[in-house]
């Protein structure tokens, strides 16, 4: 099984565009040598992020963009911008670049769904070109995740710097919708469970545990896909060459054989099995980072007086084939 259909390593609609260039290099979208060459470096670089630095950066950006005006902030904007800005800063981006980067990442991710419109693809291409322009120039980004990744990759002669730049951009695009969903779903969980909200308000450490259980119970990424390059058998079924499998990670999280009473939201389950971040060779390297970013932002919102119950009463969700992201502005 492979992560892309045989014969279409890059979606035909973006072949030859800047968006296609990034897509074609992503470890997420490759198997075999391109994946094996960079995945260990990406994992090691993310694992090397200093958690204290990440937390203080997230708090600083939160204060700078929202300040004390929690009631007046647009939650949807917070969800789609802050996590990307945090990862951009970890990559070594300077403050004046952040707005351009965050907008470009949000444009770039629009080309990822299979049903992307021509307008979305054009915006994605413009965003991708801006991001490549910024991240193909590693100068001035010393001491960050990007320079760490570049240093590690340069130890292998066969990795070109374009692949490193694309995957640095990939860290932000992987963060964007998934972490927005995780923060949003945590706010919904808090808004619907007064006891949990009280716990989060008085014991901020509990937010980490709540976020981890929301990851399982209300998975921000619901599914991923695999494509058969040869006829094979999966779980007793024959999968023909060229067939696609939709792997419903969110359903696996609710399998009673994996988690007793799976439909109950129970922070602190000590034997939780969570499939939200995938498994095997393509497992997400950003799990700890994503959970930490989500916990800090939820903490800042709650500590600043946000009342999640007001937002969780009627929630709509952004249209998406694989992500579950609340749309608060519509909910009111
Ligand atoms: C709640 C947030 C996140 C969720 C739910 C999530 C989920 C996933 C899943 C399910 C995969 C595997 C897809 C597959 O096997 O088909 C994946 C891959 C990946 N994720 Fe995440 N992710 C999140 C955040 C992040 C963050 C913050 C980063 C980095 C800063 C990141 C970086 C990556 C990368 C590089 C891959 C590709 C790994 C590979 O193909 O080997 N993710 N993610």
Nearest CA to ligand 1 atom 21: 284
Nearest CA to ligand 1 atom 9: 277
Q: Indicate the pTM of the whole model.
A: 0.96
| Domain 12-331 part of CATH 1.10.630.10 | yes
The residue ranges of the chain whose pLDDT is under 50 are: 331-332
Q: What SS3 state is found at 121? A: helix
pLDDT of residue 110: 87
What are the residues whose beta carbons fall under 8 Å from the beta carbon of 222, sequence distance 6 or more?
Answer: 248, 249, 250, 322, 323, 324
Q: What is the pLDDT of residues 199-255, one digit of tens each?
A: 999 988 899 999 999 999 999 999 999 999 999 998 899 999 999 999 999 999 999
Q: Is 4 in the pocket of ligand 1 (CB under 6 A)?
A: no
Q: What's the CA-to-centroid distance between 150 and ligand 1, angstroms?
A: 20
Helices and strands in the chain: count of H runs, count of E runs: 14, 6
CA 136, CA 123: separation in Å to the nearest integer? 20
For 203, phi then psi, to 5°, come to: -135, 90
Looking at the CA of residue 90, tell me the nearest atom of ligand 1: 30
pLDDT of residue 59: 96
pLDDT of residue 245: 95
Domain boundaries, the chain: 12-331
pLDDT of residue 310: 86
pLDDT of residue 330: 60
pLDDT of residue 311: 85
């Amino acid at each position: 099984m492979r992560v892309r259909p045989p014969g279409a390593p890059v979606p035909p609609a973006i072949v030859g565009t800047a968006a296609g260039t990034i897509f074609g290099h992503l470890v997420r979208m490759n198997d075999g040598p391109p994946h094996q060459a960079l995945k260990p470096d990406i994992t090691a670089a993310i694992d090397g992020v200093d958690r204290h630095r990440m937390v203080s950066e997230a708090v600083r950006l939160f204060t700078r963009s929202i300040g004390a005006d929690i009631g007046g902030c647009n939650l949807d904007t917070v969800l789609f911008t802050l996590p990307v800005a945090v990862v951009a800063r970890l990559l070594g981006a300077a403050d004046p670049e952040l707005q351009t980067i965050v907008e470009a990442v949000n444009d770039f991710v629009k080309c990822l769904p299979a049903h992307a419109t021509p307008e979305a693809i054009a915006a994605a291409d413009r965003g991708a070109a801006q991001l490549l322009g910024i991240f193909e120039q590693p100068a001035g980004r010393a001491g960050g995740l990007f320079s760490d990744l570049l240093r590690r990759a340069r130890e292998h002669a066969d990795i070109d710097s374009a692949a490193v730049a694309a995957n640095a951009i990939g860290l932000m695009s992987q963060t964007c919708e998934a972490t927005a969903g995780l923060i949003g779903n945590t706010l919904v969980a808090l808004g619907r469970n007064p006891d949990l909200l009280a716990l989060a308000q008085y014991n901020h450490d509990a937010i980490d545990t709540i976020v981890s259980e929301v990851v399982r119970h209300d998975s921000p990424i619901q599914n991923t896909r695999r494509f058969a390059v040869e006829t094979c058998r999966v779980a007793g079924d024959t999968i023909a060459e060229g067939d696609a499998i939709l792997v419903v990670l969110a359903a696996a999280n609710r399998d009673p054989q994996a988690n007793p009473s799976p439909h109950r939201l129970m922070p602190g389950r000590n034997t939780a099995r969570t499939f939200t971040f995938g498994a095997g060779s393509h497992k997400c390297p950003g799990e700890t980072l994503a959970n930490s970013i989500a916990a800090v932002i939820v903490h800042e919102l709650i500590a600043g007086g946000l009342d999640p119950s007001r937002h969780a009463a009627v929630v709509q969700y952004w249209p998406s084939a694989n992500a579950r992201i609340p749309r608060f502005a519509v909910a009111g």
